[in-house]
Amino acid sequence: MDNQNSNFIKDIMIKDLESGKHDTIMTRFPPEPNGYLHIGHAKSIILNFGLADDFSGTTNLRFDDTNPAKEDIEFVNSIKEDVKWLGFEWDNLFFASDYFDEMYNRAVLLIKKGLAYVDDLSADEIREYRGTLTEPGKNSPHRDRSIEENLDLFQRMRNGEFGNGEKVLRAKIDMASPNINLRDPVIYRIAHVTHHNTGDKWCIYPMYAFAHPLEDAIEGVTHSICTIEFEDQRPFYNWVVEQCEMKNQPQQIEFGRLNLTNTVMSKRKLKQLVEEGFVDGWDDPRMPTISGMRRRGFTPESIRTFVRETAVSKNNATVDFEMLEHFVREDLKLKAPRTMGIINPLKVVITNYPEGQIELLDAEINPENPEMGMRKIPFSREIYIEQDDFMENPPKKYFRLFPGNEVRLKHAYFIKCEEVVKDADGNVVELRCAYDSETKSGTGFTGRKVKGTIHWVEATHAVPAEFRLYEPLILDTSEENEEGTFLDHVNPNSLQVFEGFVEPNMKESRPHDKFQFFRHGYFNVDPKHTTVDKLVFNRIVSLKSSFKL
């Protein structure tokens, strides 16, 4: 677990093993299959799998599929893929639906013990009866039904005799409890919905808060690690395990959620972004989903390192997104081949270079990792440079190309701008330059120096490419109020698309190949829009940041 060696959850596990409370450690990662996983879930994955690995224990992947109205096999498959991509293998794969029969039997046990009853109140009435943080709740008029009547009604609920919302099964605890979660929570509801695993076998489904502790206890989970918002649910978690007479007694431990700046981490909000067309799917590279980050080009190593560098504590924390970007730069700087790509092309004709001649120049694949070797890049009379690398009337200390100025072409020669060609509207469409053959890179030329070096791509062999540059999808949401929603803070400039060119050696690039484009940053070949005839590059991150650990 690297930097989690001293986290408080691990300390608890050490004490439990030393005291003999447990002779092994079992954790679980229990996602609900109602959406795609995001970076916050990555912290839970890495924590659960990592802690179990530290103690040579086991980790189950379990889908809490108790709400079929919102679940889909698509989400199940995406979650499996995300866990594997992050570098983890589960020891066992379970579904909450595997235990529906036993959960039903445990609910019957509660009824027989006088600890559960069938209620006819509507959802709104239940909320009204529940009370507030300062006022106790009041008993349902159906709370004192006999055990026999409750058993009969619950069986009839299972048989499908009632419609959705007509009846629920509630735990019978304490309507005056200072913890609202103990004020007779609903533990079963009616839902005539086909389940992705069990089909139409059931028309009643356990509530998450009831099912979850039973699942942990059935599997023999020793430590049920969850985020801090479940802390108030822990008394009910323990009540369920005890009153349902479960053999195993898991321990629930809460930790602070991971949040990122300029990022929403609510599945409901992420779903809204998808359904209302603000993004092109759950895997949009602007989304904080693991699949979106994978498509953008983040590496599993960078995400694991990022999570391990964030604190494991009881407090929720918001971490600067630039910290995550820092770790992907660190991971890619020795892995990613260097190359040149022109995002916003401007044509340059080198007037004194021989027409029809193609020269192959040597360039390092990665100067920070010499073992990656060298590559050949073509050079000719016509090249493309970035439009931003030319200014007709530059300010002081502008060292790139302008009329009369000389610059070095990366890996090539010095060129001097001699003529500017414009269209009828006065836009610069072409530069005419002269090169100096004695200034070739690698020859040791020291006759004179230039202050600017720019990148380029040879025009006749250049491969057309699309470049997608990203900014935060969500702007600062601190101004969000009751009259607005987070959608008011969606950044209209979160995606910019450019049509440009890359070196010819990029033609064989495949989805998820990663490169560092000179001066532009690290890019990933997009797996969704790249075709045999068209390369699409997502910018993972720019080259530099002011962020410091």
Catalytic residues: 32, 257, 267
Give the SS3 label for residue 328: helix
Alpha-helix residue ranges (DSSP H) falling in 289-349 = 290-296, 300-309, 321-332
CA–CA distance, 98 with 484 (Å, rounded to integer): 42
Please, what sign has the CA dihedral across residues 265, 269, 273, 275? positive
What are the structure tokens assigned to 302, written together?
């960078």
What are the structure tokens assigned to 107, written together?
């609910």
CA–CA distance, 82 with 101 (Å, rounded to integer): 30
- First vs last C-alpha separation in the chain: 19
Beta bridge partners of 347: 384, 430
DSSP state, 180?
Answer: G
What are the structure tokens assigned to 155, written together?
């069986």
CA–CA distance, 157 with 170 (Å, rounded to integer): 13
CA–CA distance, 504 with 101 (Å, rounded to integer): 61
CA–CA distance, 503 with 536 (Å, rounded to integer): 14
Where would I find the beta strands (DSSP E) of 297-405?
Answer: 317-319, 338-339, 341-342, 345-350, 359-364, 374-379, 382-386
CA–CA distance, 4 with 46 (Å, rounded to integer): 10
Question: Which strand (E) or helix (H) includes residue 253?
Answer: strand 251-255
**What letters, b where the CB count within 10 A reaches 16 and e where it falls short, cover 28-62?**
bbbbbbbbbbbbbbbbbbbbbbbbbeebebbbbbb
What are the structure tokens assigned to 335, written together?
């892995």
